[in-house]
Amino acid sequence: MTHPHGFLSGTWVLAALVGMLAGCGSGATTPATPDAGSGADSACITEQAVPPLCTTNPVSPSVTDLSGTWVLELIGAQTVTAPTYSNPFHLKSIGVILVQVTQTASDVGVAGHYCDRIQHDDPANPAKVVVLPAWGHLAFPFQRSGTFADNGSGQLELTLPTAIEVAGANLADSACDALPTDPNDPRVVDIDNDGFPGLTVDLTGNILSGSLMSVQRQATALHGVAVAADRIEGGMTYESDQSVVESDPSNIKALYQFSKASADPAVCASSFVMVKVPDADAGAVDCDWVRTNEGTLLGL
């Protein structure tokens, strides 16, 4: 595997940093384990279990074919436990994607590109994440294949197995290669074309302000059902790792090595929604349209 197929807002790296900053010096954070100095933790990402369906709405049995234009929202939840805070921070990275779905029998293909990336910060977070337009609106490709098939009891379920996504570097093996930590590593790419290595996000807050350039990787699996002719809801599982290659001020990179964020372990903390665009409107739909209408479509 050599390249990603889609990505969330790509800012969970900062959640770890904030947690470490909040408790710096307490010794309660856990550092990532680098691989012989060549990058971040290189343990391979493996196939994930099928997530729960994560919907409280009844299934619409009349939906048998998903072909058409859809707006897909991926919601990835993270938690950070900071030593000086009694409760963990809860953050959500949201990706909004315009996709075309094709279906032949029970086989489904989903292909398109990201239109928006949004970070929902915990109000208690002392360093807020700012997703810059260069990354937030980057039309990053998204491609999956799976099934819309009978679960054995007559209910059709959409299953998109684990896909690995990397932003900010080209890896020979996207599942197992250590992430680069050196901005001069030839694998690092300026994915958002802003003149800095990796992808750039900003921090603003009363603890720290600045810019952070990172390489990030995640694996996601989706499992859902049609709850209406134009709506699919379901659960998402994922795991992630990341590395900071450069920062301004430089101490952000130095501080990051002491901490690491993790996916929220709560059942259904991460989920997805797909909303179908009417066939009559599909030809006029682009990312500008998606960003203008995402609030109405998805409640953002």
The predicted pLDDT at position 236 comes to 95
Report yes or no on 3 lying in a domain: no
State mean pLDDT over 275-282.
Answer: 85
Range of the domain at 47: 12-282
The predicted pLDDT at position 59 comes to 96
Task: Give per-residue pLDDT as tens, 73-120.
Answer: 999 988 877 656 667 778 888 999 999 999 999 999 999 999 999 887
Q: What is the mean pLDDT of the chain?
A: 82
Report yes or no on 288 lying in a domain: no
pLDDT-derived band at 28 (thresholds 50, 70, 90) equals: very low
Report yes or no on 97 lying in a domain: yes
Structure tokens at 201: 């996000």
Q: Minimal CA–CA distance to 242: which of 188, 162, 186, 163?
A: 188
**Does residue 157 carry a pLDDT above 80?**
yes
Residue 282 is classified by DSSP as H
Task: Give per-residue pLDDT as tens, 188-229.
Answer: 999 999 999 999 988 887 777 888 899 988 889 999 999 999
pTM (2 decimals)? 0.84
The predicted pLDDT at position 259 comes to 55
Report yes or no on 18 lying in a domain: yes
Report yes or no on 5 lying in a domain: no
State mean pLDDT over 45-53.
Answer: 84
Report yes or no on 300 lying in a domain: no
Task: Give per-residue pLDDT as tens, 212-222.
Answer: 899 988 889 99
Domain count, the chain: 1
The predicted pLDDT at position 89 comes to 77
In angstroms, the CA 211 to CA 194 distance is 12
Task: Give per-residue pLDDT as tens, 223-274.
Answer: 999 999 999 999 998 777 888 999 898 887 877 665 556 788 889 999 999 9
The bridge status of strand 231-248 relative to strand 271-276 is antiparallel
Report yes or no on 292 lying in a domain: no
Report yes or no on 76 lying in a domain: yes
Element (H, E) at 2: none
The predicted pLDDT at position 90 comes to 80
Residues 20 and 104 sit within 8 Å (Cβ to Cβ): no
